[in-house]
Amino acid sequence: MEQFFQQLTNGLAVGGIYALIALGYTMVYGVLKLINFAHADLFTLGAYLGLTLLTSMALTNHLGPLWGTLLLALMVMGLIALVGALLDRVAYRPLRASPRLSAVVSALGASIFLQNTIMLVYGARFQVYPQNILPKAAIELGGLSIPVVRLMVLATSVIMMAALYLFIQKTKIGTAIRAAAIDQGAARLMGIDVNRVILMVFLVGPSLGGLAGLMVGLYYGQINFTMGWNYGLKAFTAAILGGIGNIPGAMVGGLLLGIIEAMGAAYLSMAWKDAIAFCVLIMILIVRPTGLLGERVAEKV
Amino acid sequence: MALLEVAGLHVKYGNIEVLHGVDLRVNEGEIVTILGANGAGKSTTLLTLSGLVKPSGGSIAFGGRPIDKLPAHVIVKLGIAQVPEGRRIFNTLTVQENMNLGAFVSKDYEQVKKTQDWIYALLPVLSERRQQLGGTLSGGEQQMLAIGRALMSRPKILLLDEPSLGLAPLLVKTIFQTLREINTTGVTIVLVEQNARAALKLAHRAYVMELGNIVLEGPSPELMANSEVQAAYLGTGSQ
């Protein structure tokens, strides 16, 4: 039973990271019907920028681990949001009127460009996050010893998801985003500037992806320029699992995939971890292609 | 000076020209209807007025100001709202959220609240269904919602594209009655319709479109008496 709960918390922590990345895919897909393949590389960039800021500015020395990490997270989110908006401006906006396949190819190109830029700047080797930032302690919870970092990761993703949910559901611009995802033409007839909605989506989605990158760096300690590939695929799976284009779906899908993966790794075989995740993807595509919470059939790209 | 002045409007979809120089004039306070068969260019005309489709030639002036180069969201702000063909309400949003989106361009919350009270009084069925998802409404209710939503921006001109489509005759009557009421509050109305009889009864003036051209125009009673119109659109031609 202890192993079960350990894996559950572990799965939730990893799942929270998947969910944060998946939100970026699903928000962009919702409004533009485009899979932003470069999103995974924004996640990677978040991890690298986090490392650079962490080591060059020594925030955690000046402000203490908690405030230092918080400020670091805000800086990474802000920077990646800007890169996201720039990505849209350079790679997608000029193709808005073109056939969708052009934008998909542009997304693939942007992904390759970003990944290789990161490699050229930082090198191809694994880089290591300083290990003395976050507390090593574990807390006892009902006879269970859970690392504090794991809880912090889970708490951060839950807070971010709740904030995003409120933003999307309660604010005027959030409602405009939902409207534009349903029917862009009708949204424009309401006086909504769809380009502004798209910009907002490319600020919010990447900032969450960048934060996830930073969290992976802090949680696992090492990062690599190809890390976006695996996390991106998992997050994409999570988005499909929940129903792509559906924001609560991406949250549920991410957490669920994290748990399934952790349980599979624990009870079946560690080596089959990825295979299990992608089996889930295949099963979902066969049994319920719209995802758990989705209502729209995903069109082929 | 007319409130809305369209001159020599040309629109192309790709290489195919669908409007070949349309002239329209709408005076303040009028109800003007545009009649015509499928494919005559009525919907394209309305979409161009709202800025969703860009003209390849000609001009559109609203209150003397050229608007044909403006993006759709700015045109809404100036006071042109549209009830699009097929209603296009936001199915997975609540009735209230649909209404709020209609007021997206307004910053004055007191005014929005007042407008909303007026619309809910005008269309009480919407008020009862505030928390329901738009997609769960019946066709007639969805049409009411589309009209209410468009009115939320306090438009000077309301453009409606076939509001009677797919509705039972009794509902059509109700909707046209509502349009008349809206018009008496000072909102100018441009109505695209295939239901020529009902539209001509409601409108002050009418245009008839065929294959991307205006072929007839005049006061409604005059067109209703016109034998060509009777034969083509009213089904009462001289036997």
State the pLDDT confidence band at A297, using cuts at 50, 70 and 90. very low
Contact between chains at A175 and B50 (C-beta distance less than 8 A): no
- A181 located within any domain: yes
- ipTM for the whole predicted complex goes beyond 0.90: yes
Backbone angles phi, psi at A174, to 5 degrees: -60, -45
Q: Are B99 and B126 in contact (CB under 8 A)?
A: yes
User: For strand B4-13 and strand B16-26, is the pairing parallel, antiparallel, or unpaired?
Assistant: antiparallel
Q: Which residues of A touch B91 (CB under 8 A)?
A: 182
Distance of alpha carbon A53 from alpha carbon A133, whole angstroms: 13
Q: Is B71 helix (H, G, I), strand (E, B) or coil?
A: coil
Distance of CA A155 to the CA centre of its chain: 15
Quote the CA–CA distance of B119 and A98 in Å, as a whole number.
40
Contact residues on chain B for A190, CB-CB shorter than 8 A:
76, 101-102, 104-105, 149, 153
Q: Is the model's pLDDT at A295 over the cut of 70?
A: no
In tens, the pLDDT along B142-161 reads 999 999 999 999 999 999 99
pLDDT of residue A296: 52
Q: Are B190 and B160 in contact (CB under 8 A)?
A: yes
Number of domains in chain A: 1
- Contact between B74 and A161 (Cβ < 8 Å): no
Residue A52 within any structural domain of the chain: yes
Residue A300 pLDDT > 60: no
Whether residue B168 contacts residue B126, with contact meaning beta carbons closer than 8 Å, is answered with no
User: Does the pLDDT of residue A299 top 50, yes or no?
Assistant: no
Beta bridge partners of B13: B16
Find out whether A60 and A68 touch, Cβ atoms under 8 Å.
yes
Residue A298 maps to a domain: no
Phi, psi of A300 (to 5 degrees): -80, 145
| Mean pLDDT, chain A, integer | 92
A95: domain CATH number is 1.10.3470
pLDDT for B238 beyond 80: no
Interface of B with A in 132-161 (CB under 8 A): 149-150, 153
pLDDT band at B227 (very low <50, low <70, confident <90, very high): confident
Instruction: Name the percent of chain A lying above pLDDT 90.
Output: 73
Cβ contact, residue pair A191, B71, below 8 Å? no
In angstroms, rounded to a whole number, what is the distance separating the alpha carbons of residues A220 and A229? Answer: 16
Identify the pLDDT of residue B34. Answer: 96
Tens of pLDDT, residues A3-15:
899 999 999 999 9
Cβ pair A171, A160 in contact under 8 A: no
What is the sign, positive or negative, of the torsion defined by CA atoms of A201, A203, A207, A210?
Answer: positive
Q: What is the pLDDT of residues B111-144, one digit of tens each?
A: 999 999 999 999 999 999 999 999 999 999 999 9
What average pLDDT does the segment B81-109 reach?
A: 95
Cβ–Cβ gap A191/B153 under 8 Å:
yes
CA distance A187 to chain B (A): 8
Q: Model confidence at B53, in pLDDT bands (50, 70, 90)?
A: very high
In a domain, A292, yes or no: no
Q: Provide the residue range defining the domain that includes A143.
A: 2-287
CB contact under 8 A, A188 and B104: no
A74-88, A153-167, A189-203, A260-274: least confidently modelled range:
A260-274
Q: Is pLDDT larger for residue B234 or for residue B223?
A: B223
Tens-place pLDDT, residues B167-188: 888 999 999 999 999 999 999 9
Using the Cβ of B78 and the Cβ atoms of chain A, whether some distance falls under 8 Å is answered with no
Amino acid at A195: N
Pair A190, A197: CB distance under 8 Å: no
Mean pLDDT of A206-234: 96
Confidence of residue A66 (pLDDT cuts 50, 70, 90): confident
pLDDT in tens, A23-45: 999 999 999 999 999 999 999 99
Q: Is the pLDDT assigned to residue A187 strictly greater than 80?
A: yes
Q: Give the pLDDT confidence score for residue A257 in this predicted structure.
A: 96
Q: Give the pLDDT band of residue B237 (cuts 50, 70, 90).
A: low
Residue A294 falls within a domain, yes or no?
no
Q: Which two tokens stand for residue A209?
A: 């992806």
The rounded distance, in Å, linking the Cα atoms of A117 and A121 is: 6
A179 near B CB under 8 A: yes
- The verdict on a CB contact (< 8 Å) between B101 and A188 is no
Are A206 and B120 spatial neighbours (Cβ–Cβ below 8 Å)? no
A179: nearest CA partner in chain B:
B90
Read off the pLDDT of each residue in A201-221 and give the average, rounded to a whole number.
96
- What chain B holds in terms of domains, given with CATH numbers, is 4-234 (3.40.50.300)
